[in-house]
């Protein structure tokens, strides 16, 4: 579970950064660029920290995932469009839950 969560954090971080870039290119949204960049980097920091301090790293990853879950629940409710709000909502929820499960595994001494 620990390695799966680490891989998920890397993929998630890269996708968030790329999504921010796409928001800038397609919609000329500087907010998307900054938000995608910051949250993507935060997810990558969570991965990096999980290598030497998995409790902290997975907490960072879970916080990013669950924060974005909350934000994109409201965006999806307003737009009712799967792309991009629904996709980011599902990915964020999965990453947040995966990081919490990996953190519990580490805490129990299994990871």
Q: Which two three-digit tokens encode residue 60? A: 């960072």
The Cα 53–Cα 37 span in angstroms is 23
CB 11 within 8 A of CB 104: no
The pLDDT value recorded for residue 110 is 73
Q: What is the pLDDT of residue 22?
A: 95
pLDDT tens digits along 44-66: 999 999 999 999 999 999 999 99
HEC states along the chain? CHHHHHHHHHHHHHHHHHHHHHHHHHHCCHHHHHHHHHHHHHHHHHHHHHHHCHHHHHHHHHHHHHHHHHHHHHHHHHHCCHHHHHHHHHHHHHHHHHHHHHHHHHHCCCC
**36 vs 31: CA distance, rounded Å:** 8
Q: Kindly tell me if the per-residue pLDDT of 23 is higher than 90.
A: yes
Mean pLDDT of 29-35: 95
Between CA 47 and CA 52 the distance in angstroms is 10
């Amino acid at each position: 579970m620990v390695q799966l969560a680490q891989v998920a954090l890397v993929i998630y971080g890269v996708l968030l950064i790329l999504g921010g870039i796409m928001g800038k290119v397609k919609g000329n949204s500087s907010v998307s660029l900054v938000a995608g960049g910051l949250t993507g980097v935060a997810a990558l920091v969570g991965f990096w920290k999980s290598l030497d301090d998995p409790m902290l790293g997975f907490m960072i990853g879970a916080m990013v995932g669950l924060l974005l879950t909350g934000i994109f629940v409201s965006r999806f409710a307003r737009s009712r469009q799967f792309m991009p709000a629904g996709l980011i909502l599902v990915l964020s929820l999965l990453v947040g839950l995966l990081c919490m499960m990996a953190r519990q595994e580490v805490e129990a001494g299994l990871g």
